[in-house]
Amino acid sequence: MQILSALDAISPAFSRTKLVLFSPFRFGRTWKLAASGYLGGMSAAFLPWPLVYLVFIPIVTDQPDIAGDASRVVISVLVGLCVVLTLVYLVFFYLFSRLRFAYFDVVLNAGKFIAPGWRKHGAASLKWTLFKVLIGCVVTAIVALPVFHIAKGLVGTFQSLAANMAPGQPPSPQFMQAIFSVYAAFFGVYLFVGLFMWAVSVLGDFVVPSLALEDTTLNEALRRVGVFIRNEPGQFALYALLKLALALVLFMAAGLAFYVMLLIVVIVAVIVGGIIGLLLYLAHVPTAVLVGLAIVFGVLLYFFAIFYGTFVASGTAMTFLESYLLYFLGGRYPLLGDLLTASTPPAPSGSQPYPGPPPPFAPAPLPPSQ
């Protein structure tokens, strides 16, 4: 397969997305594949945010209004909720991470079923999942320290405001400055977390193929990523930047497409529902019954549109990003490139005016001289 640059891989990725999801469009199958791609993309990075709330334990114990048994109850409830939510998140994260491997198999082979890839990549997905859990816990612990100091400072600021501000008096400039400082600090934390998620997502793009296709060790997969970065640092950086830009554009387009679809569904539902309601009214159905049916039908239709449209729109974006990776990496990874080529249908041959190559161009003869 030809080696494509990060820019050249964009165009065939659109064709691959159309092939996987919409060739042909099937109401149930397209939704199933798009939903699988969307949920698999949610496993990009592991960040156990419920554990961050444990930093509030020292803040709670320092409050004079909470002491003794009340303090122990609050701490027990906080710890219990954080642990339970983290365990639930861990289970879903593993399922989504394994689904990412299964969907990688679907996009690569233009498959229509999730189950074969799910069964095949269980061991490989577990290795990558455990690695992401490990680095995610480390990053969460790093983030917890500034979050603790920010939260402690915010609590102190409001306590100072409550103690020193008279009723009806506007907040002091120092208080507003402290609030803006807190917002700036939280923005820095979110920026750091966003960069971490982006970095792990890009790293996963280059690790998953080796694990899925050859079941290599994690060290070997990471070593290959390092070799690629050393050999083509410019293309790697361009891919990472383009993936971020394309993701932002695609998800904004997906949101716009969803709302356009929702508007069309609402218009059609109003027209059809109005006709049916008129016929029922002429059949002397009570008005209260008609209103109740309209409310129930509207609520069900709204949730169906949300459930179906969100997954299809966002899953299409995730399918494109997966296809983009395959075409960028295919020429540099022969095994992946061969599988990608084998699952790509040949382009239809256009009709030619000649049975063979056209004759060479020959200029028209000059008119005879007079």
Mean pLDDT of the chain: 83
Q: What's the confidence (pLDDT) of residue 164? A: 60
Of 40-44, 87-91, 355-359, minimum mean pLDDT range = 355-359
Query: Is 242 a member of any domain?
Result: yes
Q: Which residues contact 202 (CB under 8 A, 6 or more apart)?
A: 239, 240, 243
Domain count, the chain: 1
Q: How far is the C-alpha of 95 from the C-alpha of 43, rounded, in Å?
A: 9
367 pLDDT more than 60: no
Query: Is 370 a member of any domain?
Result: no
Mean pLDDT is highest, among 76-90, 176-190, 232-246, 301-315, for 232-246
Nearest residue to 22 (alpha-carbon basis) of 370, 339, 359, 319: 319
Mean pLDDT to the nearest integer, 26-50: 90
Provide the CA 125 distance to its chain's centre, in angstroms: 18
Q: What's the confidence (pLDDT) of residue 12? A: 93
In this prediction, what percent of the chain has a pLDDT beyond 70? 83
What's phi and psi for 60, nearest 5 deg? -65, -45
User: DSSP class of residue 24?
Assistant: T
Task: Select the more confidently predicted residue: 225 or 287.
Answer: 225
CB 43 within 8 A of CB 97: yes
Query: Is 293 a member of any domain?
Result: yes
Query: Is 347 a member of any domain?
Result: no
Domain that holds residue 124: 10-342
Q: What is the pLDDT of residues 104-118, one digit of tens each?
A: 999 999 888 999 999
Q: How far is the C-alpha of 81 from the C-alpha of 344, rounded, in Å?
A: 49
Q: What's the confidence (pLDDT) of residue 355? A: 45
Query: Is 25 a member of any domain?
Result: yes
Query: Is 131 a member of any domain?
Result: yes
Query: Is 324 a member of any domain?
Result: yes
pLDDT category at 356 given cuts 50, 70, 90 is: very low
Task: Select the more confidently predicted residue: 184 or 136.
Answer: 136
Query: Is 357 a member of any domain?
Result: no
Provide the CA 116 distance to its chain's centre, in angstroms: 23
**SS3 category, 318:** helix
Q: What's the confidence (pLDDT) of residue 163? A: 57
Q: What's the confidence (pLDDT) of residue 362? A: 46
**SS3 category, 79:** helix
90 pLDDT more than 50: yes
245 pLDDT more than 60: yes
**SS3 category, 275:** helix
- The amino acid at 294: A
